Chains A and B, each alone.
Chain A
Amino acid sequence: MIDGNDKNSIIRMFHVHKQYGAKKALIDINFDVSKNEFLFITGPSGAGKSTLLKLLYFGEPVSEGQILIDGMNLSRISRNRTPFLRRKFGIIFQDYKLIPTKTVFDNVALVLEAMGKKRQLIQKKVNSVLRMVGMEERSKSFPQSLSGGEQQRVAVARAVVGVPRIILADEPTGSLDSESANVIVDLLKGFHTRGGTVIVATHDKELLRKTGSRIIHLKEGRQIK
């Protein structure tokens, strides 16, 4: 049994394993993430970075081991509580995962609608977040009409609008030019400065160099000390 008494940790991983059939995707992962930390998870393709993030937001269950998120033990979380766990996270994907049939505004508003927030509040907050990421002018556009950098800015807006505790970003600059990548990094830094915890999975060395934060290396599913 694990103890979740470390008050400074927002994430704790204990001997976490993940297996897909015979294939071991993650082997004995152990680390803590402090509140308001900016952490990188890095490693070559197939090292298990995305799998690790997936386990954190409970996209999939662990095969073995335990994960504590802000005091919630994921092994004991019920299906009904899963959405509330997810609201602790803002998730950013390499392929943005925006809904193509919804406008920029509606894509971002979805998070607050799912939380049951009032219309007026949604209007106010979404506009303010879109202003922050510089996409207010494009609020009525559909994702297909935006560039990759713009779509990722909308994805960041969606990730932060619900004021989550943690941002998980899976290769957020992977398909962007350096200028767009810088904008995204600045937005993530801004969230961090305002007290949020940020975890970025990336193999972008430039990104690592720019931020100079703690790095966890993965190789073939193992954590390299």
Chain B
Amino acid sequence: MILFYKKAIQDIRDNGFLNAVTIITISLSVLIVSALALFFVNANDIMSSWKKGISIMAYLKTDIGETALPEIKNKIQGMYGVAEVEFISKEEAMKRLKEQMKGHSSLLADLQENPLPDAFEVRLLTSSADSKKVENLAVQIEAMPSVEKAEYGRRWLGRFTNVFDLFKFTGYAMVGIFFMAAVFIVANTIRLVIYSRQDEIEIMRLVGATDRFIKTPFYIEGLIQGAIGGIIGLAALFVAFMLIALNVEQVSSSGIFQIRFLSPGVLCGIMLCSIFVGWLGCYISLKQFLKYKTG
């Protein structure tokens, strides 16, 4: 095995330019893919924090007595996707409204009677906070005989979820394209290395070398290229992240946009993918080469 490693490292040295091209290609692909991953991780964080704020207001009919409230609460609590249900009495609602309208309280001063209804504020589980599930839940709540109306930030939520889904889809497509492009380029550069060493491989076969003996150094070469490419790509992303993070922190000291780097798990995943790209590129070109050179 040591012999194979030595051969692989010797090959990388002998074909410095081609190997540099392969490594740069892999690093660029890793950089782009991991930048996308970084964007999605942070966008997801922001989305989750927004989703936590999503709630449905279930306004009760005026003739509902206090005794019926626990039953209604239990019923809503039992619905799928509901995290928490809080009763907001009409007095409490008026108090909140007055607080929100500080400075304009004179508008409310003339009211003889509290016009606001009793309500339940229904908070959702994060996993259920997409527009369709929220809508279904709202319909379900509204269908209850004691509920007059169920409201939520309908349009805002729907539009935002759609935009985010579109981003996600584009992101997956781009990751796929960059993955294929990287594999294709690695396969081609390794093919060039193999062709430049065609005579050598032919001689190896003539002296009784097995396919494994011929192929293993190439595979190791592919794995090393993938690993180095991955490290360079992620290092470049980290440097870019540090520069951006510094600026963002200066702009937003409020901490709303706390951006974070990729988790160790994601980093490991990207590294493994990068190594896999090196291996796969090698596998494809060797398979093609040995198919033509049988015997």
Contacts and interface: CB of A to CB of B under 8 A. Distances in A.
Q: How large is the interface on A (under 10, 10 to 19, 20 to 34, 35 or more residues)?
A: 20 to 34
A111 B208 contact: yes
A135 B213 CA distance: 27
A101 B14 contact: yes
Interface string B215-249: 00000000000000000000000000000000000
Contacts of A82: 295
Interface string A69-92: 000000000011011101100010
Nearest to A98: B203
Nearest to B200: A99
Given A59-B295, A101-B200, A83 B3 contact: no
A114 B208 CA distance: 7
**Chain B contact residues, majority secondary structure:** helix
B289 to A, nearest CB: 15
A186 interface: no
B295 A114 contact: no
A22 to B, nearest CB: 22
Interface residues of B, number: 17
A18 interface: no
B213 A114 contact: yes
B74 interface: no
Given A59-B295, A113-B3, A114-B213, A86 B204 contact: no
Contact of A86 (B14, B199, B207, B211): B207
B205 interface: yes
B210 A83 contact: yes
Contacts of B200: 99, 101
A79 B207 CA distance: 15
Given A58-B295, A82-B295, A99-B203, A162 B3 contact: no
Interface string B79-121: 0000000000000000000000000000000000000000000
A86 B205 CA distance: 8
Nearest to B203: A97
B294 interface: yes
Contacts of B213: 83, 113-114
Given A86-B206, A97-B202, A162-B208, 7 more contacts: A57-B206, A60-B295, A83-B213, A86-B205, A97-B203, A114-B213, A119-B3
23 contacts: A57-B206, A60-B295, A61-B295, A79-B294, A79-B295, A82-B295, A83-B205, A83-B210, A84-B208, A86-B207, A87-B208, A97-B203, A98-B203, A99-B200, A110-B204, A110-B209, A113-B213, A114-B208, A114-B210, A114-B213, A115-B208, A158-B207, A162-B208
